[in-house]
Amino acid sequence: MKRFSGDISLVLGGAAGQGVQTVEALLVAVLKREGYNVFACKEYMSRIRGGSNSTSIRITDKKQSAFVKRIDFLFAMDRDVIPHLQERITENTILFGEREKVCKVSGECHIVNVPFAQFVRELGNPIYTSTVTVGVALGLLGADEEIFETYLREHFARKGEAVVQKNIEAARKGYAFGKHLAYHEGIEVHLVKDKAVADEILLDGTEALGLGALAAGCNYISSYPMSPGTGLLTFLAQQGKNFDVVVDQAEDEIAAINQGLGAWYAGARAIVTTSGGGFDLMTEGISLSGMIETPIVVHIGQRPGPATGLPTRTEQGDLNLVLHSGHGEFPRAIFAPGTPAEAFFVTQQAFYIADKYQMPVFILTDQHFLDSVTNLPKNILQNVKFKNHIVKTMADYKRYTLTKDGISPRGVPDYGEGLVGVDSDEHDEEAHITENAGTRVAMHEKRLRKIFGACDEALKPSEIGDVKKSKTLIICWGSNFGVVQEALRILAGDDVAGLHFAQVYPLPKNAKKLFAKKKIIVLENNSSGQFANLLKLEYGVKITKNILKYDGAPFSVEEVVQKLKQILLDEAL
Amino acid sequence: MLDKKIYDMPKSTDLAWCPGCGNFPILNIVKVALAELDIPPQNVVICSGIGQAAKAPHYLRVNYFNGLHGRALPPAIAIKVANPRLTVIAESGDGDTYGEGGNHFLHTIRRNPDIVNIVHNNMIYGLTKGQASPTSEKGLKNPIQTEGVIVEPFNPLAVALALGATFVARVFSGDVTQAKEIVKAAIRHKGYALVDILQPCVVFNKQNTYQWFKEKTYYVDENYDQTDKSQALDIAFDLERLALGIIYQSEGRPTYETLTRAGDAPLYKMKPDRKALQNLIEKYK
C-alpha cells in the first residue's frame, strides 16, 4: 500500500508538442472545480517541437503556491523525461508511462505501465492522448468522474457534439484505467475537497497582470514579442477586444516604448511588455519618460541573461537593470508581485503611480511567476480606485509649471484651450529648449522631488509569521513569496519570520524599523544579491546571509527549508 | 482660412537655425498650410526627433512631442490612434527619419496611419557638424569620409513606394508657393503621407546648394498620372533629374487608427469597464 495524503506532487513530462500544457490546463481546471487546491508551474525548452518539458502540479489540502522538488506521480509521455528530471526522481516516485519506452532509463523507480499507444489506437486519433492522460490522473486521485465529464462538455462544446463524445470516451477510458491502477498498485490518495475552492478562479501570473491592466483602464499596448513577457501582449490582444484596448505589435522595442509614451501623451493609458533583452532597447525611452514626465508602465518578465541567456527559464537578475535604466537622474517606481492577487493589485497601482507622478513605473516579474497557475477566491482581487490625473488646459497652460511636490498638472492635446508641448531637451515651464543653468537646476529638482510623494505611497512589505518576535528575518521579493511562506510554515519557529516586498523601489521609509536588531537573510534568484544590496543602500541594514540561485530554475520548498535550517544552525553556533 | 499669425511664436523667440537656413521657409510652409486648411493650433500635434529640423515644433504654436533622435514616428502613430481627431505631423531631418529612425520609417509606412511625415532633407548632418547623412550623394567629402561618401544614398521615395505608401511627394524649400499646396494635399490625404523636402544646408553642404537644387529639380507636369506606381518608381530612381510634386497618391486604403480602433473617441475620455471585467474574471472559474 502506497499512501499519499494532503499534498500530492504530480509531474507531467514530454517533448514540446506532445500536449503537456494541454494536460496541465485540463487537469488543473477539473481538479479546482472538484474543490482541490492546485498550484502548477512549468519549465520548458526554447524550441517548438521536441526537447523535454515538464509541468509540476501540486494538489493540496492547504493552499500552497510554491514549487516542490519531490515528485509523487510522474507521467512520462516519452523516455527523455526521465533523464531530464533525474534529480527529482527518487525511489518514492511512481512513474506512469509505457513500460517498453521508459524501462531502460527508469533506474530504481517504480514503473506503472500505461498503454497510451493502445488507447490512441482504440480512439483512432493521437489528439485524445491529453484527455486520456487527464482521465488516468483523475482516476488515480479518486476524483469525481462526473465533474470531469461536465467540464469536457463545456470545454469542447463549440467544437461540436462528436468531439465532445469522443473526449468523453477518452476520459472514461483513462479514468477507468486510473481507478484500476490505484486498486491494482495499492495507491491510496487522501485529499480534502473544499466546496469554496470549487467556486474560486484559476489564474496564472500573466492573466493576473492582464486583468490588473484592464482594471487600471489600460487601453494601449505596443510591444515586441519576447519570452516570457509576450503573454501579456497576447492576453490584451485576446481579452482586450471587449475593452477597446489598442494593440500594436511594434517593429522593435524602441518603437514600442516610444509609442507607449506617445499614447500617454495623448491621454491614453499604455503598458509595454518585454523581457530583459528587449528592455535593453527600451532604456532610451525610459530616460525620455523621466525627462518629458510622460507616464509609462513597463512590464518586464525576467529570464536569465546576459544576452539571450536561457530564454525560457527564470531569474531575478534584472532588478539593477530596471533600477538604473536610462541615462540621467530621474525618479521611478518598481513593483514585484508575488501572487496573482498581488499582480492584479500592483498593476493598477503601477498605472496610478505612473499617472499621478508622471514617471516610468515597472512591474518586474519572471518566467516562474508568469507561468504559475493557482486557485484563489475572486474577492481577494483588490481594486485600486480609478483616477485619471489629466487636467483640462487653459489658454495660458504651461506643461512644466514648477510646483512644490514636483508634479506639474498634465494636460493632453485637444482637451482645453491650451497647447501641450513635451521636450526631451532640458526645457523651461513652457516646454521649450533651454540651456539656462538656473532653469536646468529648477527643473531637475522639480522632477526629482516627485520621488518623495511616491515614497510616501510605497507599499509596505507583507509580514510572514511573527516579525516582531523573530530574531531572524528572511527577505524575499517577487515570485519567491510562496516558497518562503511555505518554508517558514515548515520551520514553524518563533525565531524566524519573513518579509515579502511587492514594491522594491522606492522602499517605504517606515518598513526600515522592521529590520532592527535582527539577522537578515535575503533570498533571491540571482547571483549578486541585487535586492540585498538595495536594502543595504536604502535602509543601511547589515545582511547576514544571502540565499541565491541562478541556474534558471525556481527555488524549491525543500531547498529553502534546508538552506534556512543550515543557516540557522550556523548562526546559533 | 485662419491667419497664419496664430501659429507665430513671440518675437523674442530665439531660433537656433543659421541665417539663410532652408528650415525657415519650411516653417513658413507648415504654418501657411495649416492656416489655409483652417486647423487651429490646439488640434495639431507635431512630433519630432533630434537635429536642427527637429527643433521646428518649438518655433510655431501647436502641441508638440519633441522626443528622441530617430523616434518622431512611433509617438506620432500612437497619438493619432489615441486621438484620431488630431492632425498629426512627424517632422524631422533626413538623418533622424531615414538613418536613426529607419526601422520606424519602414514600418510606419506599412501601418498607414493618417499622419504627415515631413522630412527636411538637406543631405548632410548639420547639428553634429557636417558628417554624411543617409541621403548624402556618393563622393561628398566630409569630416569622416575624407575622400568622399563611399556608400549608396538612401532613396526615400523609392523605399516609401516599395512599402506601399499611399502619398509620396517631394518639394523644394525654396518654392513656398508650390510646397505649401503639396503639404496641404498631404494633410488632407487619408493615410500616411511622405513629404520629402529638399533643402540646402548653407553651412555644411557646399555641394547641394540653392543653385544646385534649382538646376537639378523640375515639377511633374499637369498630365502626370499620380496613381501610376511604376512611373512613380521610375521617377524615384532618377537621381539625375529630381522630380518635384506629388509623385504618387492612392486613396481608399484603411488607416491604422481605423484598423486598431472600433471608434474614434479620444482615449483620454475612457474609463475602465469594471463590470465587463467582473464578467471576464468569472470566466476564470
- The CATH number covering residue B56 comes to 3.40.50.970
What's A515's DSSP letter?
G
Question: Is B79 close to A266, i.e. CB distance below 8 A?
Answer: yes
Q: Which residues of B touch A378 (CB under 8 A)?
A: 281-282, 284
Is there a domain that residue B7 lies in?
no
Nearest alpha-carbon partner for A203 in A376, A54, A22: A376
Q: What is the spatial distance between Cα A204 and Cα A367, in angstroms, rounded to a whole number?
A: 11
| Strand A220-223 to A246-249 pairing | parallel
What's A253's DSSP letter?
H
CB of A548 within 8 Å of a chain B CB? The answer is: no
**Scanning every residue of chain B, which has its alpha carbon at the shortest distance from the alpha carbon of A373?**
B284
Q: What is the pLDDT of residues A69-92, one digit of tens each?
A: 999 999 999 889 999 999 999 999
Strand partners, A188: A3
Determine which of A202, A252, A265, A400 to mutate to test the interface with B (most B C-beta atoms within 10 Å).
A265
Question: Is B83 close to A267, i.e. CB distance below 8 A?
Answer: yes
Q: What is the spatial distance between Cα A242 and Cα A471, in angstroms, rounded to a whole number?
A: 51
Q: Where does chain B have alpha helices with state H?
A: 23-36, 73-82, 94, 102-111, 156-162, 176-188, 210-216, 229-237, 256-260, 274-282
| Strand B44-48 to B63-66 pairing | parallel
The pLDDT score that the predictor gives to residue A202 is: 97
Q: Which residues of B touch A260 (CB under 8 A)?
A: 78
Question: Is B42 close to A211, i.e. CB distance below 8 A?
Answer: no
Residue B31 has pLDDT above 80, yes or no: yes
Strand partners, A271: A221, A297
Q: What is the spatial distance between Cα A257 and Cα A19, in angstroms, rounded to a whole number?
A: 35
CB of A341 within 8 Å of a chain B CB? The answer is: no
The pLDDT score that the predictor gives to residue A572 is: 74
Helix (H, G, I), strand (E, B) or coil at A263: helix
Considering only CB atoms, B67 lies closest to which of A217, A416, A424, namely A424
How is residue A111 written as a grid cell? 514503473
Question: Is B82 close to A216, i.e. CB distance below 8 A?
Answer: no
Is there a domain that residue B8 lies in?
no
Q: What is the spatial distance between Cα A333 and Cα B192, in angstroms, rounded to a whole number?
A: 37
| Strand A472-477 to A519-524 pairing | parallel
Q: Longest C-alpha distance within chain A, in Å? A: 85
Q: Which residues of A touch B107 (CB under 8 A)?
A: 250-251, 255
Q: Which residues of A touch B272 (CB under 8 A)?
A: 214-217, 243, 386
Show Cβ contacts of residue B155 under 8 Å, excluding neighbours closer than 6 positions.
B236, B237, B239
A431 CA: distance to closest CA in chain B (Å): 9
Q: Which residues of B touch A417 (CB under 8 A)?
A: 42
Query: Which range marks the domain in which residue B47 is found?
Result: 18-282
Question: Is A263 close to B107, i.e. CB distance below 8 A?
Answer: no
Is there a domain that residue B6 lies in?
no
Q: Where does A400-556 have alpha helices with state H?
A: 437-456, 481-491, 530-539
Question: Is A414 close to B43, i.e. CB distance below 8 A?
Answer: yes
Given a contact cutoff of 8 angstroms between Cβ atoms, the answer to whether A482 and A462 are in contact is no
The pLDDT score that the predictor gives to residue A515 is: 97
Radius of gyration of chain A (CA): 26
Q: Which residue has the cell 489615441?
A: B82
CB of A293 within 8 Å of a chain B CB? The answer is: no
Question: Is B267 close to A250, i.e. CB distance below 8 A?
Answer: no
Helix (H, G, I), strand (E, B) or coil at B35: helix
Q: What is the spatial distance between Cα A173 and Cα A123, in angstroms, rounded to a whole number?
A: 9
CB of A431 within 8 Å of a chain B CB? The answer is: yes
CB of A425 within 8 Å of a chain B CB? The answer is: yes
The pLDDT score that the predictor gives to residue A110 is: 85
The pLDDT score that the predictor gives to residue A573 is: 54
Number of domains in chain B: 1
Q: Which residues of A touch B62 (CB under 8 A)?
A: 419
Q: What φ, ψ does residue B47 adopt, rounded to 5°?
A: -105, 135
Question: Is B83 close to A285, i.e. CB distance below 8 A?
Answer: no
- Cβ-defined contacts of A149-158 (< 8 Å, 24+): A151/A26, A151/A29, A151/A30, A151/A33, A155/A26, A155/A29
Given a contact cutoff of 8 angstroms between Cβ atoms, the answer to whether A15 and A27 are in contact is no
Show Cβ contacts of residue B99 under 8 Å, excluding neighbours closer than 6 positions.
B70, B133, B134, B154
Considering only CB atoms, A262 lies closest to which of B66, B76, B269, namely B76
Q: What length is written for chain B?
A: 285
Given a contact cutoff of 8 angstroms between Cβ atoms, the answer to whether B51 and B88 are in contact is no
Question: Is B74 close to A222, i.e. CB distance below 8 A?
Answer: yes
Q: Which residues of B touch A420 (CB under 8 A)?
A: 63
Q: Which residues of A touch B50 (CB under 8 A)?
A: 424
Helix (H, G, I), strand (E, B) or coil at A389: coil
B246 CA: distance to closest CA in chain A (Å): 28
Q: Which residues of A touch B61 (CB under 8 A)?
A: 419
B55 CA: distance to closest CA in chain A (Å): 9
Question: Is A422 close to B64, i.e. CB distance below 8 A?
Answer: yes
A292 CA: distance to closest CA in chain B (Å): 8
B273 CA: distance to closest CA in chain A (Å): 7
* Order of all β-strands in the sheet with A246-249: A246-249, A220-223, A270-274, A296-302, A360-366, A333-335, A503-505
Q: Which residues of B touch A217 (CB under 8 A)?
A: 270-272
Strand partners, A75: A12, A96
Given a contact cutoff of 8 angstroms between Cβ atoms, the answer to whether A110 and A151 are in contact is no
Question: Is A422 close to B65, i.e. CB distance below 8 A?
Answer: yes
Considering only CB atoms, A252 lies closest to which of B58, B103, B285, namely B103
Burial class for B103, CB neighbours closer than 10 Å (0-12, 13-18, 19+): middle
Q: What is the pLDDT of residues A221-258, one digit of tens each?
A: 999 999 999 999 999 999 988 999 999 999 999 999 99
Helix (H, G, I), strand (E, B) or coil at A178: helix
How many interface pairs between A and B have CB atoms less than 8 angstroms apart? 202
Which domains, from first to last, does chain A contain? 2-199 (3.40.920.10), 203-380 (3.40.50.970), 390-456 (no CATH), 462-572 (3.40.50.920)
B30 CA: distance to closest CA in chain A (Å): 17
ipTM, two decimals: 0.98
Helix then strand count (H, E) for chain A reads: 19, 25
Given a contact cutoff of 8 angstroms between Cβ atoms, the answer to whether A93 and A74 are in contact is yes
Nearest alpha-carbon partner for B116 in B31, B195, B212, B211: B195
Q: Which residues of A touch B273 (CB under 8 A)?
A: 214, 242-243
**Scanning every residue of chain A, which has its alpha carbon at the shortest distance from the alpha carbon of B101?**
A255
Considering only CB atoms, B82 lies closest to which of A239, A266, A383, namely A266
Q: What number of other Cβ atoms are within 10 A of residue A36's Cβ?
A: 23
Q: What is the spatial distance between Cα A287 and Cα A278, in angstroms, rounded to a whole number?
A: 15
Q: Which residues of A touch B45 (CB under 8 A)?
A: 266, 413
Q: Which residue has the cell 516586498?
A: A501
Peptide bond into A506 cis (omega under 30): yes
Considering only CB atoms, A420 lies closest to which of B63, B78, B107, namely B63
Q: Which residue has the cell 496610478?
A: A352
Given a contact cutoff of 8 angstroms between Cβ atoms, the answer to whether A222 and A260 are in contact is yes
CB of A222 within 8 Å of a chain B CB? The answer is: yes
How is residue B139 written as a grid cell? 563622393
Q: What is the spatial distance between Cα A407 and Cα A449, in angstroms, rounded to a whole number?
A: 8
Q: What is the spatial distance between Cα A27 and Cα A60, in angstroms, rounded to a whole number?
A: 14
Is there a domain that residue B3 lies in?
no
Given a contact cutoff of 8 angstroms between Cβ atoms, the answer to whether B95 and B134 are in contact is yes
Q: What is the spatial distance between Cα A420 and Cα A399, in angstroms, rounded to a whole number?
A: 6
∠ CA A535-A537-A543 to the nearest 5 degrees? 50
Question: Is B50 close to A424, i.e. CB distance below 8 A?
Answer: yes
Considering only CB atoms, A259 lies closest to which of B16, B63, B75, namely B75
Q: Which residue has the cell 508650390?
A: B178
Show Cβ contacts of residue A406 under 8 Å, excluding neighbours closer than 6 positions.
A357, A445, A446, A447, A448, A449, A450, A452, A453
Question: Is B104 close to A255, i.e. CB distance below 8 A?
Answer: yes
| Strand A545-548 to A390-393 pairing | unpaired
The pLDDT score that the predictor gives to residue A16 is: 87
Peptide bond into A228 cis (omega under 30): yes
Q: Which residue has the cell 519618460?
A: A289
Is there a domain that residue B13 lies in?
no
Residues of chain A with pLDDT under 70: 106, 573
What's A494's DSSP letter?
T
| Strand A503-505 to B217-219 pairing | unpaired
A242 CA: distance to closest CA in chain B (Å): 8
CB of A402 within 8 Å of a chain B CB? The answer is: no
Is there a domain that residue B59 lies in?
yes
Given a contact cutoff of 8 angstroms between Cβ atoms, the answer to whether A360 and A322 are in contact is no
How is residue A420 written as a grid cell? 501641450
CB of A215 within 8 Å of a chain B CB? The answer is: yes
B110 CA: distance to closest CA in chain A (Å): 11
Is there a domain that residue B192 lies in?
yes
**Scanning every residue of chain B, which has its alpha carbon at the shortest distance from the alpha carbon of A434?**
B14
Is there a domain that residue B12 lies in?
no
